[in-house]
Structure 1
Amino acid sequence: MKPIQIYAFDMNCVGHINHGLWTHPRDTSLNYTDLDYWVDFARTAERGKLDGIFLADIVGVYDVYKGGPETSIRTAAQIPVNDPIIPLSAMAYVTKHLGFGVTVNTTYEPPFLFARRMSTLDHLTKGRIGWNIVTGYLDSAARSMGMERQPDHDARYDAAEEYLEVVYKLWEGSWDDDAVKRDKIGGLFADPSRVRVVRHEGSHYRMDGIHLSEPSPQRTPLLLQAGASARGQDFAARHAECVFIASPTPQGARPMTQALRQRVVNFGRRADDLSIVNLISVVVGRTQKEAQDKLEDYRRHANVEASLAHYSSSIGIDLSKFGLDEPIEQTTTNAQQAALAAVSGKSSGKPAMTPRQIMDQMVLGSRQKPIVGSPEQIADRLQTWVEDGGIDGFNLARTVAPESLRDFVDLVIPVLQERGLFKADYAEGTLREKLFGRGDGRLPSSHPAAAFRHRI
Structure 2
Amino acid sequence: MSKASAPKQLKVNLFEMACVSHIVHGMWTAPDNNRHRFGEMAFWLEQARLAEDAGFDAIFLADVIGVYDRFNGLDPALRLGVQIPNLDPLSLVPAMAAVTTRLGFAATFSTTYEPPFAFARRMSTLDLLTEGRVGWNIVTSYLPNAARNFGLADEIEHDERYERAEEYLEVLYKLWEQSWDEDALVIDREKDVFTHPDRVHYINHKGRHHQVEGPHLVQPTRQRTPVLFQATGSKRGLEFAARHAEAVFIGGRTREEIRHNIAQTREQAALNGRDPNDLKFYVMAGLIAGNTEVEAQEKLSRYRARYSVEAAHVHAQAEIDLRNFDRSLTIGEALKQSGRPFGNMGRRFGPDQTVGSALDQIASFEQGRFFVAGTPSQIADAVEDWLDEDGIDGINLRQYHTFETARDFGELIAPELRKRGRLPERNTPLETFRHRLFGFDRLPTSHPAHQASLTVHAQTASFS
Q: What secondary structure, in the 3-state scheme, does the structure 2 residue paired with 1:170 have?
A: helix
Q: What secondary structure, in the 3-state scheme, does the structure 2 residue paired with 1:85 have?
A: helix
CA contact (8 A) 1:56 1:102 kept: yes
Q: What secondary structure, in the 3-state scheme, does the structure 2 residue paired with 1:16 have?
A: coil
Structure 1 position 38 matched with structure 2 position 39: no
Greater shift, 123-132 or 253-262, is seen at 253-262
Q: C-alpha offsets along residues 384-411 of structure 1, whole Å, 9 cap, x if unaligned?
A: 1112211001110100110111011100
- Unaligned runs of 5+ residues in structure 2 are 1-6, 457-464
Structure-to-structure mapping, 1:158-169, within 5 angstroms:
158-169=163-174
**Deviation at 1:436?**
0.6
- 1:184 matched residue in structure 2: 189
Structure-to-structure mapping, 1:322-337, within 5 angstroms:
323=325, 324=327, 325-328=329-332
Equivalent AA in structure 2 for residue 362 of structure 1: I
Q: Matched residues in 1 for 2:161 and 2:139: separation?
A: 9
CA contact (8 A) 2:10 2:394 kept: yes
**Deviation at 1:333?**
8.8
Structure-to-structure mapping, 1:363-382, within 5 angstroms:
363=363, 365=365, 367-368=367-368, 370-382=371-383
CA contact (8 A) 1:375 1:415 kept: yes
- CA RMSD, aligned part only? 2.2
Q: Matched residues in 2 for 1:121 and 1:333: separation?
A: 43
TM-score by length of 2: 0.90
- 2:221 matched residue in structure 1: 216
- 1:57 matched residue in structure 2: 63
Aligned residues: 441
- Unaligned runs of 5+ residues in structure 1 are 345-350
Q: What secondary structure, in the 3-state scheme, does the structure 2 residue paired with 1:243 have?
A: strand
Q: Matched residues in 1 for 2:270 and 2:346: separation?
A: 28
Equivalent AA in structure 2 for residue 208 of structure 1: E
- 1:433 matched residue in structure 2: 435
Task: Decide which of 167, 175, 179 is 1:174's aligned counterpart.
Answer: 179
Q: Matched residues in 2 for 1:254 and 1:198: separation?
A: 40
CA contact (8 A) 1:60 1:138 kept: yes
Q: Matched residues in 1 for 2:411 and 2:341: separation?
A: 43
Equivalent AA in structure 2 for residue 361 of structure 1: Q
Structure 1 position 153 matched with structure 2 position 150: no
**Deviation at 1:378?**
0.7
Q: Matched residues in 1 for 2:64 and 2:408: separation?
A: 28
- 2:131 matched residue in structure 1: 126
CA contact (8 A) 1:153 1:335 kept: no
Structure-to-structure mapping, 1:252-331, within 5 angstroms:
252-312=257-317, 317-319=319-321, 323=325, 324=327, 325-328=329-332
Q: Matched residues in 2 for 1:321 and 1:44: separation?
A: 39
Structure 1 position 414 matched with structure 2 position 419: no
Q: What secondary structure, in the 3-state scheme, does the structure 1 residue paired with 2:9 have?
A: coil
Q: Residues 70 and 328 from structure 1, CA distance in 2 versus in 1: closer, same or farther, beyond 3 angstroms?
A: farther
Q: Matched residues in 2 for 1:240 and 1:432: separation?
A: 12
Question: Which is higher, the Rg of structure 1 or of structure 2?
Answer: 2
Q: Matched residues in 1 for 2:330 and 2:254: separation?
A: 25
Structure 1 position 353 matched with structure 2 position 358: no
Equivalent AA in structure 1 for residue 66 of structure 2: G
- 2:233 matched residue in structure 1: 228
Structure 1 position 199 matched with structure 2 position 201: no
Structure 1 position 99 matched with structure 2 position 101: no
**Deviation at 1:341?**
5.1
Equivalent AA in structure 1 for residue 331 of structure 2: P
Task: Decide which of 23, 27, 44 is 2:29's aligned counterpart.
Answer: 23
Q: Matched residues in 2 for 1:165 and 1:130: separation?
A: 17
**Deviation at 1:266?**
1.7
Structure 1 position 403 matched with structure 2 position 407: no
Q: What secondary structure, in the 3-state scheme, does the structure 2 residue paired with 1:407 have?
A: helix
Q: C-alpha offsets along residues 88-111 of structure 1, whole Å, 9 cap, x if unaligned?
A: 001111111111100001112210
**Deviation at 1:247?**
4.1
**Deviation at 1:353?**
3.3
